[in-house]
Structure 1
Amino acid sequence: MINNKVLAIILGGGQGSRLHPLTEERSKPAVPIAGKYRLVDIPISNCINADIKRMFVLTQFNSASLNRHIKDTYHFSFFSSAFVDVLAAEQTPGNKGWFQGTADAVRQSMHHFLRHEFDYALILSGDQLYQMDYDKMIEAHEESNAKISIATIPVNAKDATSFGILKANEKSIVTSFIEKPEADLLPDWTSEVSNEMKGEGRNYLASMGIYIFNRDLLIKLMNDSSTIDFGKEIIPQNIKKHKTLSYQYEGYWTDIGNIDSFFEANIGLTDNIPQFDLYDKKKRIYTHARMLPTTKVSGTTLNKTVIAEGCIISAAKIEKSVIGIRSRIGDESTVIKTYMMGSDYYETLHEIQEKKIKNLMGIGERCFIKNAILDKNCRIGDDVRINGGSHLKDTETDTYAIKDGIVVIKNGATIPNGFVI
C-alpha cells in the first residue's frame, strides 16, 4: 500500500562543514551511522513505515556515494509507483546557481515534484536521528484543517536558546515564532505540554525542521523567489497568514549537526536501553542488504558493544563502542568509546601476504583507541595509541582531525606503527 496523498522531500543539507572531515568525500545524508546504515536511511525508513513511498532526496555536495547507496538499496516493485530519487542541484534555463537554502532547494526542484499527484508535501531533514510515525502527523494536519504543520519537540530553557521556538494555543495552533531567543525572553514563550514534559522542565516547543504543506500553498509560496529558507523566512512569515499546527513529538530526536552530537548519538546505541531503538519491529530501519558472513570474535572481552556483520575481532577488550561492517581488530588491542565505521571491502589473503610489512585494513595489534571515530577503510598500524579527550586541542592534519576532544581518523587514512595521539 502506498500513501498517494503525500510526497516526501528529504533535504540533504549544505556542505556539512560542521561534520567535517566525515563529509570531506560524501554528502551529509551519506554519512555512515550505527555501523551499517547511512543517515539518509532514517527519514526514508520512517516514510516506508508510514506507507509513504514516493520520496525525493535533495543534495548538491559530494552526492556520488549517496546516489550509489540509494540506487543499490531502495528497489520497489516494477508495477508500483514507489521510488526514492536523488535530485542534485542542476542548471536550468531559469536557474544557473546552487541551492541557496532549504526553500530555494525545494523551489528549484518544484518542476520534478509537480509531475506527481499529491495533496501534501512532507518536508524532512536528512541529518536527524529519530523514529516518528508520520501517519499521525498527517492525520492531525487533516483533522485541524491546517495549511502548514510543524513537528515540534518540548525542550528545556537551556536548549531553547539554540532552536526556533514556537508558541501554540490550547488547540496546538501556532500563534508566534522566535528564532534562537535570548534567555531573558523565554518566560513569555512557554506552551502547553504534557505533564511528563513539564516534570522534566521541557516547557518550550522547538521546531524539528519537519513540515507538512498543502500542495496549493507550497506552490504559491515557492513562486516568491525572495525567500530562501523555511526556518528563517517561510515559517515566520506565514504562521499568521495560514493556519499552522504544532504537532508535538515526545520521543527521542537528535540533530546530527556536528561531530560531538554525531559521536554521542552513535555511542548512545550501546546503552542497555538505548533511546534510539534499532530493535523495534514496527519501526524498522532499512539499508543496503549485504551478503556478509557472520562476525568472528576470538578471546575478546566485550562490554556494551554493538558489532555489525562480517567482522574479524581478536582484540583484548572492546567497551562502549560501535564496530561497523567488515571491521578487523588485531590481537591485544583495546577499544573504548569508539565508533569504528568498518570497511567497504575485504583484503584478499594474497594481498595480506604481499603486505606483511605494511598496515592492513582495520586496527592492528596492541593498540589503545579511546574517544575516537574511525572513518571507513582506515589502516591503524600496530602499537598505535589514540586517547581522545578534552585535553586535546582542535587539530586538522592529512590523516586525522580533532574536534571537541574526539579524534576522527579520516576515510582511507593510514596511521603508522607506534603513532601516538
Structure 2
Amino acid sequence: MPQVLTIILGGGKGTRLYPLTKNRAKPAVPFGAKYRLVDIPISNSINAGFKNIYVLTQFNSASLHLHLANTYIFDSFTKGFVEILAAEQSFDQAGWYEGTADAVRKNMHHFKTQRPSHYLILSGDQLYRMDLADFFLKHIESGADATIAATPVSRDAAGGFGILELNSKGTVKGFLEKPEPGQNIEEMRIPDRLHPDTEMRKEGRDYLGSMGIYLFKADVMEKALDNALTDFGHEIIPGLIKKHKVQSYIYTGFWEDIGTIRNFYETNLSLAGIYPSFNFYDEAMPIYTHKRDLPASKFNFSSISQSLTADGCIITNANITNSIVGIRTFIESGANLDGAICMGADYYETPVERQENRESGIPDIGIGGKTMIKNAIIDKNARIGQGCRIGIDNIDRKEGDNGFYYVRDGIIVVPKNTIIPDGTVI
C-alpha cells in the first residue's frame, strides 16, 4: 500500500514579509483572522489522507512549534503526526539550509525512517485548496517518476514562475525557471488539447507555471538529491526531466503565493468579500487550526460590513469596513477601521493589568477609542491608544523602518507588541 510522506517547506528568513516575520517563522504568520499560513498546506494534506507530515524551517521556529504542538494531535488509531524539523547541527553537517533541495536532503535520515513510497513536497506560504488525493491518483495512473502541479499563467506573470513545456500527453519535456521579460517562450505554450479552462485562455493564461508542489517516487527523489544541488526549481527538476518521466498536473482553482506584504494584505482582505475567491466555508475540505475554546465575539452598537471577525473579540460602538479582526481583539468606542488587518492578541488582560496600564500611561492591548485606521496591518498584542490616526491623512510615509512602525509596499505595518501612544498620527 502506498505510503505518502508530506514535506512542507517553511522558507527562509521571510524577508519579504518582514516585520511580520521579525519574531516568527513565515509559516506561523497569522492569516484569515484565526489561522496561520502553515494551516493551509497541512489541511490540504490531511484532507487527502496524508497524515505523516514534516514542516522544515530554520528561523524563529518557537512560535511555529507551539502552534503545531497545540493543533495537530492525532490519536493512536490515526497513526499520523505533524512535526517541525528545524535546521540542526550534527557530526555530518553544521550549516544552514541553503535551498529547498538542500533542506530536504539534510533531513533525509528522518524521512527514510518512515519508509515512504512517495514524497509530497508543499510550500508553507500559499493559499489554495487542492484535492491532493486526486493529484496522487493521477500521478500513479501516469506511471511517472515525478509529477509537478502547475497553473495557467499569462506571459507577463511567467517571469515569476518556473514554466513547464509539455508534449501532447502532458509529460514535461522542458522547464525554464523565471524567463526574462523579452525572452521568446512561444514554444512553451500549453498544447491546445491540454488547456483545461476556456476562460483562462481568453485571459491569455497560455503558459504553465510551477506551483512548487511536487510528488516523487521515494527512490527517485532520494537519488536525485544524492549530490550537492541546492534548489528544486533551478536544479533538481530540470535534471529529472532529462532522465525520468515527469508528468504535469494542471490545477485551475484559486491559488495565491503569499510572498510579499502587499500580497499578504490584499489576499487577507479578499477573504472578507461577498464572494471570496478562496472559500473557508467548505465542510468537505476544512482548513484546520488551533481550537482555542474562546467565547463568541460580542458587538455593542457597532456597524460591520464585508469583514471577518474571529472568536473572543469585544467591539464597542465601532465602524468596521473591509477589514480582518483577529482573535481576542478589543476595539473601543468610536473607533473606525477601513481596510485594516488586526491580528488580535495572545491573551486577555485582567482588570488589574488594565488598571496598571492606566497608572503607567500606556494603552490597553487592542484599538483605543476614536482611533481611525486605514490600509494597515496591526500585529498581535499591539497597544493602539485613543484618538490615533493611522493611514488616514495624506502625508509622506517613508518606505522601510520608521521607528515604531514600518511601511512595506505602501502598507503600514505596526509590529507585534508595539505601543502607540494616544493621539499618534502615522
Q: Which amino acid aligns with 2:9?
A: L
Q: Which residue of 2 aligns with 1:168?
A: 166
1:394 paired residue number: 399
Deviates more, 1:166-175 or 1:39-48: 166-175
**Aligned residue number for residue 415 of structure 2:** 410
Match of 2:299 in 1: 297
Structure 2 counterpart of 1:256, one-letter code: I
For 1:22-421, what aligned pairs fall within 5 Å after superposition? 22-184=20-182, 185-192=184-191, 193-194=195-196, 195-225=198-228, 227-356=229-358, 357-387=361-391, 392-421=397-426
Give the partner amino acid of 1:377: N
Residues 305-360 of structure 1: per-residue CA shift (max 9 Å, x gap): 10000001014310000100000111111100011000000001121223224201
- Rounded Cα–Cα distance in structure 2 between residues aligned with 1:19 and 1:402: 11
Q: How many residues align?
A: 418
- 1:137-196 superposed Cα distances (whole Å, 9 cap, x missing partner): 111111111001100000112111221111112211111111111233132321131223
Change (3 A) 1:317 1:152: same
* Alignment-mate amino acid for residue 348 of structure 2: Y
**Amino acid across the alignment from 2:208:** L
Q: Residue deviations 1:184-217, cap 9 Å, x none?
A: 3132321131223212211110000000111111
Deviates more, 1:327-336 or 1:189-198: 189-198
Alpha-carbon RMSD across the aligned residues, in angstroms, is: 1.4
Which stretches in structure 2 are left out of the alignment for 5+ residues? none
CA contact (8 A) 1:319 1:335 kept: yes
Name the SS for the 2:284 alignment partner: helix
Instruction: Give the whole-Å Cα distance in 1 for the aligned partners of 2:400 and 2:148.
Output: 38
Conservation of the 8 A alpha-carbon contact between 1:35 and 1:325: yes
| Counterpart amino acid of residue 399 in structure 2 | D
**Residue type of the alignment partner of 2:261:** I
Q: Per the alignment, in what secondary structure is the counterpart of residue 129 of structure 1?
A: strand
Distance 2:336 2:2 in 1: 51
- Secondary structure, counterpart of 1:281 in structure 2: coil
Q: Is the 8 A contact 1:8 1:121 kept in 2?
A: yes
Aligned equivalents of 2:289, 2:396: Cα separation in 1: 37
Amino acid aligned to 1:191: I
SS in 1 for 2:59: coil
Contact 2:2-2:118 within 8 A present in 1 as well: no
* Amino acid of the structure 1 residue aligned with 2:335: S
Cα distance in 1, alignment partners of residues 66 and 103 from structure 2? 21
**Are 2:101 and 2:225, in contact at CA under 8 Å, matched by a contact in 1?**
yes
Deviation at 1:80, TM superposition (A): 3.4
Distance across 2 between alignment mates of 1:322 and 1:316: 14
Q: Tell me, in whole angstroms, the C-alpha distance in 1 between the residues paired with 2:173 and 2:45.
A: 29
2:420 partner amino acid = I
Question: CA 1:315–1:177 in structure 2 vs 1: closer, same or farther (change >3 Å)?
Answer: farther
- Aligned-residue offset at 1:275: 0.7
1:120/1:397 CA distance change after superposition, 3 Å: same
Structure 1 spans left out of the alignment, 5+ residues:
none
Between the aligned partners of 1:126 and 1:161, the Cα distance in structure 2 is 21
Measured in 1, the distance between the counterparts of 2:252 and 2:118 equals 23
> Which residue identity does 1:206 align to in structure 2?
G
* Separation in structure 2 between the aligned mates of residue 317 and residue 66 of structure 1, nearest angstrom: 33
Quick one: which amino acid aligns to residue 416 of structure 1? P
Counterpart Cα distance in 2 of 1:294 and 1:229: 45
Amino acid at match of 1:88: A
Decide whether aligned partners of structure 1 residues 105 and 136 sit closer, same or farther in structure 2, where only a CA change above 3 A counts. same
TM-score of the superposed pair, with normalisation by structure 2:
0.96
Q: Distance in 2 between matches of 1:20 and 1:6?
A: 33
